[in-house]
Amino acid sequence: METYSNSSSIRVLHVEDNLAYARLVKESIKDFSTSRILLWHCTKLADAYTLLEKERMDVVLLDLSLPDSLGLSSVETLHNRFPEVALIVLTGTRHEELGIQALQLGAQDYLVKDNCGGDMLVKSIFYACERQRIDTKIRDQALTDGLTGLPNRAHFMGYLKNALSRASRLHSNITLLYLDFDGFKQINDTFGHLEGDTFLIEAANRIKSCIRQSDFCARLGGDEFAIVADASEFDFEFSIPLADKVLAAMRETFYTRGGIELAVSCSVGCAIYQGRNNHIGIDRFIQSADEAMYRAKYDGGDCYCLYDEHFAKESLRSSKMLIQLRSALKKTQFHLEFQPIINTQTGVISAVETLLRWTDNEGNIVPPTEFIPYLEKNQMIRTVGEWVLKEACTQFKAQFGNLKRIPQLTINVSPLQLKDPTFIRCVADCLEDAGFDSSWLVLEITENVLLNDIDQMMSALNELVDMGVLIAIDDFGTGYSSMKYLMDIPAEILKIDRTFVEDLSSSKSHQLITKGMIRLAHALGKSVVVEGVETKDVARALTLMGADFLQGFYFSHPVSLDGLKDTLTINHAVG
């Protein structure tokens, strides 16, 4: 262990207005120590501050009755301003309680002048130095991230608090950048935690290389980092140069130690604190940067997003929506509509798709594309999804259960539901409770479901198929699934997204692509539903292209099941 006995000189400042005592201390130190103690002296606390700003000191010997400061307040202010300097209090009278208070305020030792010989003083200086060194080390460890060596979250919070109060005082601007990596989890999952750690260390080094010495960066945990920087010269309405610099550094390819390229990108959220007219608290400021970071992620990642007022309104809207959605089930604000799917060969309704509807507190019907992402963000989709499943099966059984020819019921399933280990059980229970034949049920999943946890998703889908439930791939053509997954996925039905249909009559390439997708599905042994059919011409064209089923406003808008009952036997053939 390193101690002061084998290191360089100890620099001591004696703050004492009694010149005779100051001289005595100087003599005693000279008598009892080697040349390793270097001594400075001043008579006022203000002079001590000036000197400490300029010179590094290891120890301050502090008298408690100075011309410009009396009592323990000198200890407190000195320790707060220069926490790295060891303090030894020297007083004229013995006062145990005062001594304890001095230690509590940050002093390392408390000595009474008359009882303190030279040997004792020198020993106290050595011990104080050593204790201070240990204290500093412990404090540093508590404030440092063990892996990257960067300051940790606790240090970040302390630093940011001081930075904000300084900015308010000086009317300067501070920017806070929140960084989060896209794809970090895959590094851990694919290459193991050691590679994950190597990546984080490299990321930390790159962040450090982007910032100035006066800036501050920290690892907040996991793959989350933060930078606090002076933003006074940024033209932040247009760009945050620091964010650009960080993103550029992160775009350089990362490699594993074995030289394999890693697919990661970085999302950055920026918030600006304007000292002149900004008095939001630290928590709100951090939340702003965090929200901006999520927005950058939502925009696809590998970009930064600046928190702004418009965005603040959006997030207010989002939190209001969440509060309403939380109670929507209890208030029975959800209901279901059903849209028929027509068999092009027979012209009859072969299935109905269940579509969720929400009427909010003001009585507005909110489209599912607007509120489902919020349900997913909050995991509420599991509860609501379960309600949809039960409600649809029950209604369907009641309306159509006694018919001779029963159409199929299709239900949209969010990837988050499929990921939930209790989902399969929930489907099984629901089928049993409603007395519902599993072959009547089709679950629609989007092809993007396979982007994460392929094995888990595949095994969930296979279990469903084993139960007799059919799987349809929804919105086909808009996602990213590879041909391999398309072959492996146990889906019988492919639903071609309506974006291909919108321009079918005017766009030759849309016709070719749609025809190609129908052929591909047939080659893979799957049947094809085309969505978004709004006109007879389109219906006819798709029938000629070989589509097996059609769905869209041309046949029917989504309606209640009751409204569909009478149309079940009608022939919708388009000729």
Residue ranges in contact with Ca ion by CB under 5 A: 412, 444, 474-475
Residue nearest to ligand C2E (CB): 552
> What is the token pair recorded at 200?
């984080």
Closer by beta carbon to Ca ion, 43 or else 446 = 446
> For tokens 């109905």, what's the residue?
352
Name the nearest CA neighbour of 124 among 28, 47, 1, 43. Answer: 28
Closer by beta carbon to ligand C2E, 385 or else 407 = 385
Closer by beta carbon to ligand C2E, 66 or else 464 = 464
Closer by beta carbon to ligand C2E, 225 or else 500 = 500
Phi–psi pair at 490, nearest 5 degrees: -80, 55
Which region among 100-108, 158-166, 191-199, 365-373 touches ligand C2E (by CB under 6 A)?
365-373
Which region among 57-65, 259-267, 320-328, 547-555 touches ligand C2E (by CB under 6 A)?
547-555
Q: Which does 356 bind (CB under 5 to 8 A by kind): Ca ion, ligand C2E, none?
A: ligand C2E
Closer by beta carbon to ligand C2E, 307 or else 476 = 476
Closer by beta carbon to ligand C2E, 407 or else 552 = 552
Q: Which does 339 bind (CB under 5 to 8 A by kind): Ca ion, ligand C2E, none?
A: ligand C2E
* Smallest separation (angstroms) from Ca ion to the CB of 482: 20
Which region among 64-72, 162-170, 459-467, 545-553 touches ligand C2E (by CB under 6 A)?
545-553
| Separation CA 151–CA 140 (nearest Å) | 9
For residue 501, give Cα distances in angstroms to 102, 441, 521, 533, 539.
80, 26, 17, 7, 10
* Smallest separation (angstroms) from Ca ion to the CB of 526: 15
Asked if residues 41 and 20 have their Cβ atoms less than 8 Å apart, the reply is no
Which region among 71-79, 344-352, 411-419, 449-457 touches ligand C2E (by CB under 6 A)?
411-419
Q: Which does 552 bind (CB under 5 to 8 A by kind): ligand C2E, Ca ion, none?
A: ligand C2E
- HSE at residue 528, side-chain half, CA atoms within 13 A, is 24
Closer by beta carbon to Ca ion, 264 or else 388 = 388
> What is the token pair recorded at 401?
């259960």
414 forms part of the interface with ligand C2E (CB under 6 A): yes
Q: Which does 367 bind (CB under 5 to 8 A by kind): Ca ion, ligand C2E, none?
A: ligand C2E
Which region among 75-83, 164-172, 303-311, 367-375 touches ligand C2E (by CB under 6 A)?
367-375
* Smallest separation (angstroms) from Ca ion to the CB of 495: 5
> What is the token pair recorded at 1?
């262990």
Asked if residues 76 and 107 have their Cβ atoms less than 8 Å apart, the reply is no
Secondary structure (3-state) at 389? helix
Among 36, 95, 534, 540, binds ligand C2E (CB under 6 A): 534
Name the nearest CA neighbour of 465 among 484, 441, 486, 431. Answer: 441
Which region among 45-53, 103-111, 297-305, 527-535 touches ligand C2E (by CB under 6 A)?
527-535
Closer by beta carbon to ligand C2E, 171 or else 557 = 557
Asked if residues 264 and 184 have their Cβ atoms less than 8 Å apart, the reply is yes
Closer by beta carbon to ligand C2E, 246 or else 542 = 542
Residue numbers 372-391 binding ligand C2E by CB under 6 A: 372, 385, 388
* Smallest separation (angstroms) from ligand C2E to the CB of 372: 5
Position 481, amino acid: S
* Smallest separation (angstroms) from Ca ion to the CB of 447: 11
Among 106, 151, 340, 552, binds ligand C2E (CB under 6 A): 552
Residue numbers 452-481 binding ligand C2E by CB under 6 A: 474-475
368 forms part of the interface with ligand C2E (CB under 6 A): yes
Asked if residues 270 and 247 have their Cβ atoms less than 8 Å apart, the reply is no
Closer by beta carbon to Ca ion, 196 or else 532 = 532
Task: Write out the DSSP string of 281-335.
Answer: -HHHHHHHHHHHHHHHHHTTSSEEEE--HHHHHHHHHHHHHHHHHHHHTTTT-EE
424 forms part of the interface with ligand C2E (CB under 6 A): no
Asked if residues 197 and 146 have their Cβ atoms less than 8 Å apart, the reply is no
| Separation CA 176–CA 243 (nearest Å) | 10
Count of residues that bind ligand C2E according to CB under 6 A: 24
Phi–psi pair at 221, nearest 5 degrees: 135, 155
394 forms part of the interface with ligand C2E (CB under 6 A): no
Name the nearest CA neighbour of 36 among 59, 3, 2, 5. Answer: 5
Phi–psi pair at 322, nearest 5 degrees: -65, -40
539 forms part of the interface with ligand C2E (CB under 6 A): no
> Strand pairing of 441-446 and 86-91?
unpaired
367 forms part of the interface with ligand C2E (CB under 6 A): yes
420 forms part of the interface with ligand C2E (CB under 6 A): no
| Separation CA 497–CA 477 (nearest Å) | 6
Asked if residues 317 and 192 have their Cβ atoms less than 8 Å apart, the reply is no
> For tokens 């259960």, what's the residue?
401
* Smallest separation (angstroms) from Ca ion to the CB of 477: 10
> What is the token pair recorded at 444?
């629609």
Mark residues 323-362: x for contact with ligand C2E by CB under 6 A, - for none.
Answer: ----------------x--------------xxx------
Q: Which does 121 bind (CB under 5 to 8 A by kind): Ca ion, ligand C2E, none?
A: none
Mark residues 126-145: x for contact with ligand C2E by CB under 6 A, - for none.
Answer: --------------------
For residue 89, give Cα distances in angstroms to 12, 64, 67, 224, 349.
13, 7, 16, 43, 92
Asked if residues 450 and 489 have their Cβ atoms less than 8 Å apart, the reply is yes
> What is the token pair recorded at 458?
């595949």
CA angle 531, 535, 537 (to 5 degrees): 105
Position 538, amino acid: V
Closer by beta carbon to Ca ion, 412 or else 481 = 412
Question: Quick one: how many helices (H) and strands (E) in the chain?
Answer: 21, 23
Q: Which residues bind ligand C2E (CB under 6 A)?
A: 339, 354-356, 367-369, 372, 385, 388, 412-414, 474-475, 498, 531-534, 551-553, 558
